[in-house]
């Protein structure tokens, strides 16, 4: 998925009341592989230090990987922690075992997002970091648990630049909040774009499912349209409120005279 479509997608993702949906958002925010998220355990999470330490045995490269956690990632973990039933961070609803390895893919399928995979969000993160930020390439690659440089350079570089990567993932989480922080705006924008496309709303959810692939120009037009309607509603509300107050004043002045009669 294009990184420019991530905020709108995350907004829709948060409307899904499912463990797999929250697990997918957590994977997006941490730029982790889906298998690492499926197997995450509470013993690997340090909420106070805001770090998730994935052991070497569960990493593709066979090296321990420390993942800094953004504020939103911590909020997701708190939701998981409130419903904790075992050591698994995001267990299957059936309990006692990890989510199915296709659980995140099924979330995409239910949202009718085609051509995207859970693993592909790592590429979206990398494209965003390279195109939209000034973070060094080494920091972005380290966030993906990729090796940088040759064996000699790797041997001398012993730090994992955790705090620099923390700033990177926090910036990524803020970027994902551009539209995810206001699901109502995202839903209204989708409705306006749908009306512009087919002339009337549809009761088929699949029509709105194509929303994340809409161009930035269309989204900008939709936001402007929403603002115009908001201003109109506020004006009508002000006029109605003024009329109601005036009507009350008239009634208060007339009724005593009628009573005296």
Boundary residue ending a domain (134, 162, 181): 181
- Told to judge if 60 belongs to the known catalytic residues of this protein, a careful annotator would answer yes
Q: Are residues 35 and 151 in the same domain?
A: yes
Catalytic site residue from 63, 81, 97, 146: 146
Catalytic site residue from 3, 4, 12, 33: 33
Q: Are residues 23 and 140 in the same domain?
A: yes
Boundary residue ending a domain (181, 208, 243): 181
Q: Are residues 60 and 147 in the same domain?
A: yes
Q: Are residues 173 and 233 in the same domain?
A: no
pLDDT in tens, 68-103: 999 999 999 998 888 888 889 988 888 778 888 899
Burial label for 205, CB within 10 Å (0-12, 13-18, 19+), is exposed
Q: Against a cut of 0.95, is the pTM above it?
A: no
Q: For residue 20, what is the domain's CATH number?
A: 1.10.443.10
Q: In this structure, are residues 12 and 1 in contact, taking their beta carbons and an 8 Å threshold?
A: no
Q: In this structure, are residues 141 and 176 in contact, taking their beta carbons and an 8 Å threshold?
A: no
pLDDT band, residue 261 (cuts 50/70/90): very low
Q: Are residues 174 and 237 in the same domain?
A: no
- Told to judge if 106 belongs to the known catalytic residues of this protein, a careful annotator would answer no
- Told to judge if 238 belongs to the known catalytic residues of this protein, a careful annotator would answer no
Q: CA–CA separation, 170 vs 165, rounded Å?
A: 8
Look up the domain containing 210 and give its range. Answer: 186-260
């Amino acid at each position: 998925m294009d990184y420019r479509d991530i905020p709108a997608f995350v907004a829709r993702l948060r409307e899904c009341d499912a463990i797999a949906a929250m697990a997918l958002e957590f994977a997006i925010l941490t730029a982790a592989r889906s298998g690492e998220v499926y197997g995450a355990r509470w013993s690997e999470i340090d909420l106070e230090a805001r770090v998730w330490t994935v052991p070497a045995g569960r990493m593709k490269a066979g090296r321990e990987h420390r993942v800094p956690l953004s504020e939103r990632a911590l909020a997701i973990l708190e939701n998981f922690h409130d419903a904790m039933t075992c050591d698994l961070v995001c267990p299957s609803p059936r309990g006692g075992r990890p989510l199915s390895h296709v659980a995140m893919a099924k979330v995409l399928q239910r949202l009718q997002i085609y051509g995207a995979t859970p693993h592909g969000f790592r590429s979206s993160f990398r494209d965003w970091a390279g195109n939209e930020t000034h973070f060094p390439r080494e920091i972005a690659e380290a966030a993906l648990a990729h090796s940088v440089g040759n064996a000699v350079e790797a041997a001398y570089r012993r730090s994992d630049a955790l705090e620099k990567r923390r700033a990177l993932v926090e910036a990524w989480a803020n970027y994902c909040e551009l539209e995810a922080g206001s699901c109502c705006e995202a839903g209204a924008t989708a409705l306006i774009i749908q009306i512009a496309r087919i002339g009337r709303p549809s009761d088929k959810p699949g029509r709105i499912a194509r929303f994340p692939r809409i161009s930035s120009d269309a989204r900008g037009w939709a936001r402007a349209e929403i603002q115009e309607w908001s201003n109109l509603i506020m004006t009508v509300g002000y006029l109605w409120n003024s009329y109601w107050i005036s009507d009350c004043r008239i009634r208060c002045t007339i009724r005593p005279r009628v009573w005296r009669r």
